[in-house]
Amino acid sequence: MKSVVRLLLAGFAVSLMAGCASGVKHSEMAASLPTLKQGEGRVYFMRSASMFGAAIQPDIRLNGDVVGESKPGGFFFVDRPAGKYVASTSTETEKTISFALDAGETKYIRSYPTFGVVVGRVVLELTPPDQATTALADLSYTGVTMQVPKAK
């Protein structure tokens, strides 16, 4: 009986770990990130690596468009024209955050799970740049694979 319980616990742990982000760390790719185009700003979305709520990985929307997923231990970014934005996640309820993005500005939005009635919720919050850049270093990139221009 004990071996069955251990096997089930091990399987559960492996399934949770499979949901965590794995890939290139921000610290390894920071120097190769593309520069911002004129008139645009950058929005980072990040989530710390935690087992709490690891199975809850909702889409993240920006002004209604899916831009990525809230994955434990992961980050991604999007570049957008200066303007007003609403970022949101949705599980049993929708959680939103509104912000203005200026040209040349970088915003950092942290997502984190909280308790819900049936399913957990993923909340979004703006994070100060000094806290965000420290947290980003150990997070793995979960966005669209960046294409490096070929030399001519």
Does 53 fall in a domain? yes
Does 13 fall in a domain? yes
Does 146 fall in a domain? no
For residue 138, the 8-state DSSP code is T
**Per the structure, how many domains does the chain have?**
1
If phi > 0 it is left, if psi is from -120 to 50 it is alpha, else beta; for residue 83 that is left
Does 150 fall in a domain? no
pLDDT per residue of the chain (152 residues) written in tens, 0 to 9: 555 334 333 344 444 444 455 678 888 888 888 999 999 999 999 998 888 777 888 999 999 999 999 999 999 999 999 999 999 998 888 899 999 999 999 999 999 888 877 777 888 999 999 999 999 988 999 987 544 344 44
Residue 63 is part of which domain span?
Answer: 2-141
26: domain CATH number is: 2.60.40.1120
Give yes or no for a contact between 122 and 56, defined as CB atoms under 8 angstroms apart. yes
CA of 15: how far to CAs of 12, 46, 76, 96, in Å? 5, 21, 22, 28
